[in-house]
Structure formats: C-alpha cells, structure tokens
C-alpha cells in the first residue's frame, strides 16, 4: 500500500457566561511522529493571544503546548491544523509469543534485568484514573485467552467480543463514567470501549496503553464530506516483547492501518486529553468541538468555498 496524506483541523471554542480572569491550559494537539506516521506541517492558532506559551514533551513522549492567560476574556478559540503522512504499519506474524509469556516477561523478580522496552511497558500494567484491575475483568478476558493462544489471537478475540457485546451510545456515559459502570451497561463511546478493553488486558497481566487521535470517517453515499463532522477517536495498543506495540480498535473491530491518526498515548484518557486546564471565573461553559479529517485527494473539493480554508494543499505547494 502507498503512503496516504491527510489534512487535520481541530477547532475548540469556549463561550464563557462570565469573564475569565486567569486561565492555564495544556494542549495535546500535535500528531506524533513515528516510523509509520510523519507530520509534514502543523500550527496552532489561539484567540485571544496568550500571555505566555511554551512547549514540552511529557513522560509518554507526547508534545504538549502550555498556554497562560492573565487578562480578562469572554471566549477562547483554538484551532490546530496539521498535514500528516501515513505508511502501512508492519503487521505482526500470527505465531508471535504465547500470551502467558508476555505476562511472565513483565513479572517482577528481584535482581532481574529489564531492558528499556520492558520497563516502558511496565508503566501500562497497573490501575490508573480511568482503568481498573479487577477479577471480573480478568474473568471476561479469560474466555478469549486459551492456554495455547498467542497474544495476537487472544487479543483479537477479545476485541471482537467487546465489539459484539457492547452498544455504541453517546448518551450512555460521560468522560467521568467509571469503567465498572461501562461494563455493567455495556454501552458507551470509543473512550469507554478502550478503557474497558485495557482494563481486561491489564487484569490478566498484559500491558496496554490508551491511544488518542483521529479516525477517517466516510460520508453517506452521494453526500459530500462536511467540515467539522468528524471527531477525536480512541483505541488501544498491547505490548508484545517480540513484536512491540500492536494496536486494536474495539469500537470498530479492526486493527488500525492507514485510517487511524495518532495524537498521543498514555495510561488512559486523563494522560492525553486534547485540552485540559484550570481557570478563574467563566461561570457555566461547555466546549464546542469540530474535527475535520480530509484525505489529500478531497482537499480542494472540501475547502473550495470555505472562507477560512488553508492556504496550501501541502507545505510549499499552493
């Protein structure tokens, strides 16, 4: 498969009931660069102009922008745009390690030497803010992992089970709904699917991390691709010592290839929220978020009559 290119636009708008006197925000809106994903260009526009802004790389390797406001403002608008290029991910062989070997490789043994990759993976074995390690999650996963199963086959079976038994329902949960309640209702959104499957994997001793990014969506047949009609997406990756991190999307029952674009990863959503922070004032406020993912071939058609369309198709190409 040939490389593909996408234009990303992520708009966030806050309209505050009361003036905000001070605000400090963390933005995780810059796509990661990896062996199979390259950021060709990116920019972030912020209104009003922040008093200060800076950048750093967090503990998981995600690029973070900090913005601080120290003057009154009644609204906040943030637009992140990027061009990314994806090449096909290397798919692991079917006969990778038995899943128990992965779990044993991460067991703590006094005096045992752990290489850098194993130490990194060990961070994704334990409970975190939105992920629980519990017997009922282990029992749910155990039905998918037989004694002779490879890590790939067992995780694929678990992904299919979650996809078949859970119902996608945007009204069923909020960002703070506990994963135990998601399990009870078996309803939720991509974030809930990811948190639940990660909980199952960690509960049987397998390291799993939360993936945050975008998914290319397709308009109904005969309908145009609309600006702002997409959304952020969540999936997960599980670690195998012989193959590295292998990604799974339980919301769609697929292994990501050329239509999943990675912003970042962490233990769960709390580590990679696209925008989070604290403020003084503001009253009641909810964000308006619009996301647009446009393949290179559709770029001119989608933005043809848009007043604030990007100036160029790709860096250096008008």
Task: Please tell me whether residues 163 and 234 are part of one structural domain.
Answer: yes
Q: Give the count of alpha carbons within 13 A of 280, CB side only.
A: 7
Could you tell me if 267 and 277 lie in one domain? no
8 Å CB contact between 188 and 172: yes
In a domain, 296, yes or no: yes
3 state SS of 26: strand
Count: domains in the chain? 2
Q: Is residue 94 part of a domain?
A: no
Query: Quick one: pLDDT at residue 231?
Result: 86
Burial 73-90 (b: 16+ CB within 10 A, else e): beebebbbbbbbebeebe
What's the predicted TM-score (pTM) here?
Answer: 0.93
Domain shared by 132 and 228, yes or no: yes
Q: Both 130 and 196 in a single domain?
A: yes
Q: Is the distance from CB of 40 to CB of 314 less than 8 angstroms?
A: yes
According to the model, what pLDDT value does residue 38 have? 95
pLDDT tens track, the chain, 318 positions: 689 999 999 999 999 988 999 999 999 999 999 999 999 999 999 999 999 999 999 999 999 999 999 999 999 999 999 999 999 887 776 557 789 888 888 888 888 888 899 999 999 999 999 999 999 999 999 999 998 889 999 999 999 999 999 999 999 999 889 999 999 999 999 999 999 999 999 999 999 999 999 999 887 777 776 666 688 999 999 998 878 899 999 999 999 989 999 999 999 999 999 999 999 988 777 889 999 999 998 888 888 878 777 866 666 544
Three-state secondary structure call for residue 129: coil
Whole-angstrom Cα distance, residue 253 to residue 198? 15
Same domain for 142 and 266, yes or no, is yes
Determine, yes or no, domain membership for 310.
Answer: no
Q: Do 16 and 110 share a domain, yes or no?
A: no
Clarify whether residues 36 and 180 are in a common domain.
no
**Same domain, residue pair 157 and 207:** yes
**Residue 307 domain-assigned?**
no
Indicate whether 61 and 180 sit together in one domain. no
135-142 vs 190-203: helix axis angle to the nearest 10? 90
Looking at residue 135, which CATH number applies to its domain? 3.10.620.30
CATH number at residue 80: 2.60.40.2250
φ, ψ at 66 (rounded to 5°): -100, 135
Render 228-245 in DSSP notation, one character per residue: TBB-EEEEEEEEETTTEE
Question: Which SS3 state, helix, strand or coil, does residue 101 take?
Answer: helix
* Distances in whole angstroms, Cα of residue 104 to Cα of each of 109, 137, 241: 10, 19, 11
Question: Both tokens of residue 105?
Answer: 């490789």
Sequence-ordered list of residues with C-beta below 8 angstroms from that of 297, at least 6 positions apart, any chain: none
Cβ neighbours for 180, distance < 8 A, ≥ 6 positions apart: 132, 134
pLDDT of residue 313: 63
Q: Are residues 198 and 283 in the same domain?
A: no
Q: At which residue do the structure tokens 């002779």 appear?
A: 148
Rounded-to-integer distance, Cα 85 and Cα 296, Å: 10
- Tell me, yes or no, whether 135 and 115 share the same domain: yes
Radius of gyration of the chain (CA): 21
Same domain, 34 and 134: no
The answer to the question of residue 162 being in a domain is yes
Query: What's the CA gap between 232 and 251, in Å, rounded?
Result: 13
First and final CA of the chain: distance in angstroms?
27
Domain span including residue 57: 4-87+273-302
262 domain-assigned: yes
Q: Residue 126's pLDDT is what?
A: 96
Nearest to 183 by CA among 197, 170, 171: 197
Classify residue 289: in a domain, yes or no. yes
Asked whether residue 234 is assigned to any structural domain, the reply reads: yes
Residues 163 and 214 sit within 8 Å (Cβ to Cβ): no
C-alpha to C-alpha distance for 36 and 313, rounded to whole angstroms: 21
- Cα 35 to its chain centre, rounded Å, is 17
């Amino acid at each position: 498969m040939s490389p593909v290119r996408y234009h990303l636009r992520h708009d966030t708008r806050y309209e505050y009931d009361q003036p905000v006197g001070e605000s400090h925000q963390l933005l995780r809106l810059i796509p990661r660069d990896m062996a199979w994903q390259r950021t060709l260009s990116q920019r972030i526009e912020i209104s009003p102009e922040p008093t200060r802004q800076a950048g750093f790389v967090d503990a998981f390797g995600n690029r973070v922008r900090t913005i601080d406001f120290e003057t009154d403002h009644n609204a906040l608008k943030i637009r992140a745009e990027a061009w990314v290029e994806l090449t096909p991910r290397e798919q692991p062989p079917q006969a990778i390690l038995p899943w128990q070997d992965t779990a044993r490789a991460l067991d703590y043994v006094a005096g045992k030497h752990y290489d850098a990759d194993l130490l990194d993976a060990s961070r994704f074995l334990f409970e975190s803010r939105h992920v629980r390690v519990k017997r009922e999650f282990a029992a749910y996963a155990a039905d998918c992992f037989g004694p002779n199963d490879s890590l790939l086959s067992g995780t694929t079976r678990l992904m299919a089970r979650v996809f078949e038994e859970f119902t996608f329902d945007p009204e069923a949960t909020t960002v703070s709904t506990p994963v135990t309640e998601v399990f009870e209702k078996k309803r939720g959104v991509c974030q809930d699917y990811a948190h639940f499957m990660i909980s199952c994997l960690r509960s049987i001793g397998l390291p799993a991390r939360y993936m945050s990014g975008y998914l290319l969506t397709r308009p109904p047949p005969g309908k145009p691709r609309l600006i702002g009609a997409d959304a952020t997406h969540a999936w997960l990756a599980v670690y195998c010592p012989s193959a590295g991190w292998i990604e799974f999307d339980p919301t769609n029952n697929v292994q990501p290839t050329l239509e999943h674009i990675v912003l970042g990863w962490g233990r769960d959503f709390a580590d990679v929220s696209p925008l989070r922070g604290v403020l003084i004032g503001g009253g009641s406020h909810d964000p308006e978020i619009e996301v647009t993912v446009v393949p290179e071939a559709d770029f001119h058609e989608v933005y043809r009559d848009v007043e604030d369309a990007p100036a160029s198709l790709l860096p250096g190409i008008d």
